[in-house]
């Protein structure tokens, strides 16, 4: 039995029949219900078959890949195993940015047309454009349905989304206060029954966000992990919960185990984490049996590679390299997205044959520059800061080799002793008596995409 309640055409009640405009989408979703149970070897061979179709198109119609392919000395038919596939060079984000015009197809398959243009948030410092087609849009939405099902989000309930909302100036004033929508989304409304939706811009002050959530009383909340963590701390301080709330979904940013725990403790409901990106859409969603995140292998060929560009084994953490299987307009073939993830051990106990991730690390963190000339990964200091307590959010900025600024949004447990502990930890991490400026603020600045950069390297204000 389907998780969703399918909308039907006028004059028909049961069994439901999808309208012409959504019949293809519904068929795609139902096919995903089948393919998730295939044996991993079957899935891999099906992916390689789609890769051969994509490569044949690229060699014929995409200038960049046409030249790259000549250099490999292979034919498309030679791609029979993953070892064969890995002979194709990795595409770096910098190259994609520089070669963008040559990465666009000069001709598309029959029935395929350009529809939308997106842009990445630029967290990596290298924003890129992403062009999509009608087929990409259909697959994107089919995986959207699967994600809701795996997260156990019933669209007949109500949802509140707090995220970056791009609008006109007039509309922006409305979304800052929160708006009510008749359904979760126009496309979703065409396919399945769904309830009311509420939306608010992430720029709104967190206490006003919480007041709004108290008023609308949603069944589900969707937002970014740092924002949800802040709201959770406010709920804990008030000693209250949101009646009727069933689950939370985090999007757009990395969800650490510590942040998940804080959100679940504050809201008192489970947190579902979805892994996606602008370049490919849905990458992985929570295993319904709770074993990690299943890669949407029908959407992307997902590689985890070590520093020698060799595939990672079970339990190993590596670099994420993606191949989008259905974008024939602006293909991403062996594209390094600058994320890290950890591979699960063997086939998932739930029975699905899709690859399993046990951890998604997101963008690789900056490396601080130490006074002695060495570089040091910022991850250790970030984890140390998490142990401090007394604050809701933090941001660490290296202004110079000997100057670090730590911004913190304090909570009610903040004390006069906290700044001294911050200074001590930072100096121990930098292995030198660097100057540490501790600033307490009401709210941390966000990027245009509504994200908080918890680590920055910015030498523009201080001289080295």
pLDDT in tens, 137-184: 999 999 999 999 999 999 999 999 999 887 766 687 889 999 999 999
Residue 1, pLDDT > 50, answer no
Cβ-based neighbours of 372, under 8 Å, separated by 6 or more: 431, 432
Whether domain 1-364 has CATH 3.40.50.12780: the reply is yes
Whole-number Cα distances in Å, 341 to 311, 361, 453? 12, 5, 19
Residue 384, pLDDT > 80, answer no
Residue 125, pLDDT > 60, answer no
Each residue's pLDDT tens digit, 246-267: 999 998 888 888 889 999 999 9
Residue 356, pLDDT > 90, answer yes
pLDDT computed for residue 378 by the predictor = 77
Q: Indicate the CATH number for domain 367-457.
A: 3.30.300.30
SS3 at position 367: strand
Max Cα separation, the chain?
A: 77
pTM for the predicted model, two decimal places: 0.82
pLDDT computed for residue 394 by the predictor = 87
Residue 21 binned pLDDT confidence (cut-offs 50, 70, 90): confident
pLDDT computed for residue 372 by the predictor = 78
User: Does 298 or 448 have the greater pLDDT score?
Assistant: 298
Residue 134 binned pLDDT confidence (cut-offs 50, 70, 90): very high
pLDDT computed for residue 464 by the predictor = 39
pLDDT computed for residue 403 by the predictor = 94
pLDDT computed for residue 376 by the predictor = 76
Each residue's pLDDT tens digit, 208-261: 999 999 999 999 999 999 899 999 999 999 999 999 999 999 988 888 888 899
pLDDT computed for residue 463 by the predictor = 40
pLDDT computed for residue 126 by the predictor = 62
pLDDT computed for residue 345 by the predictor = 86
pLDDT computed for residue 240 by the predictor = 95
For residues 189 and 18, the answer to whether their CB atoms sit within 8 Å is: no
Angle subtended by helix axes 225-238 and 257-267, to nearest 10? 40
- Report the distance separating Cα 161 and Cα 221, nearest Å: 6
SS3 at position 246: coil
pLDDT computed for residue 120 by the predictor = 79
User: Does 376 or 211 have the greater pLDDT score?
Assistant: 211
Element (H, E) at 149: helix 134-151
- Provide DSSP, 196-245: -EEEEETTS-HHHHHHHHHHH--SEEEE-HHHHHHHHHHHHHHT---TT-
Residue 449 binned pLDDT confidence (cut-offs 50, 70, 90): low
Residue 22, pLDDT > 90, answer no
Query: What does the mean pLDDT of the chain come to?
Result: 90
Alpha helices, DSSP H, located in 239-306: 257-267
pLDDT mean over 446-463? 73
Domain boundaries, the chain: 1-364, 367-457
Strands, sheet with 455-457, edge to edge from the N-terminal-most edge strand? 435-440, 403-410, 391-400, 455-457
């Amino acid at each position: 039995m389907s998780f969703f309640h399918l909308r039907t055409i006028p004059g028909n009640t049961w069994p439901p029949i999808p309208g012409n405009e959504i019949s293809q989408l519904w068929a795609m979703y139902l096919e995903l219900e089948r393919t998730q149970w295939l044996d991993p070897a079957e899935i891999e061979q099906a992916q390689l078959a789609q890769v051969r179709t994509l490569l044949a198109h690229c060699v014929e119609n995409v200038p960049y890949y046409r030249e790259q392919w000549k250099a490999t000395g292979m034919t498309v038919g030679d791609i029979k195993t993953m070892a064969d596939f890995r002979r194709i060079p990795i595409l770096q984000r910098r190259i994609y940015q520089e070669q963008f015009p040559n990465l666009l197809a000069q001709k598309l398959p029959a029935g395929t047309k350009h529809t939308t243009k997106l842009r990445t948030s630029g967290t990596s410092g290298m924003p890129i454009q992403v062009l999509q087609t009608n087929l990409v849009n259909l697959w994107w939405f089919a995986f959207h349905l699967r994600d809701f099902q795996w997260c156990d989000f019933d669209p007949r309930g109500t949802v509140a989304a707090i995220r970056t909302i791009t609008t006109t100036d007039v509309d922006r004033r409305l979304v800052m206060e929160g708006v009510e929508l008749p359904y979760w989304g126009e496309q979703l409304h065409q396919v399945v029954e769904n309830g009311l939706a509420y939306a608010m811009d992430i720029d709104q002050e967190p206490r006003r966000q919480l007041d709004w959530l108290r008023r609308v009383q949603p069944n589900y909340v969707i937002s970014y992990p740092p924002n949800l963590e802040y709201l959770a701390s406010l709920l804990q301080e008030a000693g209250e919960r949101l009646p009727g709330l069933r689950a939370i979904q985090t999007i757009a940013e990395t969800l650490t185990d510590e942040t998940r725990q804080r959100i679940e403790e504050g809201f008192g409901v489970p947190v579902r984490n979805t892994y996606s990106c602008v370049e490919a859409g849905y990458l992985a969603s929570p295993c319904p049996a709770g074993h990690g995140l299943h890669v949407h292998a029908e959407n992307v060929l997902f590689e985890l590679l070590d520093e020698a560009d060799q595939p990672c084994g079970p339990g190993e953490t590596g670099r994420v390299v993606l191949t989008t299987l259905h974008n024939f307009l602006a293909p991403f073939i062996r594209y390094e997205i600058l994320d890290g993830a950890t591979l699960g051990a063997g086939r998932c106990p739930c029975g699905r044959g899709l690859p399993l991730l046990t951890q998604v690390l997101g963008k690789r963190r900056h490396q601080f520059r130490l006074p002695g000339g060495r570089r040091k990964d910022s991850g250790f200091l970030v984890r140390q800061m998490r142990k401090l307590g007394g604050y809701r959010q933090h941001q660490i900025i290296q202004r110079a080799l000997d100057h670090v600024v730590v911004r913190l949004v304090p909570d009610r447990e903040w004390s006069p002793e906290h700044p001294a502990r911050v200074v001590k930890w930072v100096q121990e991490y930098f292995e030198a008596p660097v100057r540490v400026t501790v600033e307490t603020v009401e709210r941390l600045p966000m990027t245009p995409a509504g994200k908080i950069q918890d680590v920055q390297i910015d030498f523009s204000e201080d001289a080295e």
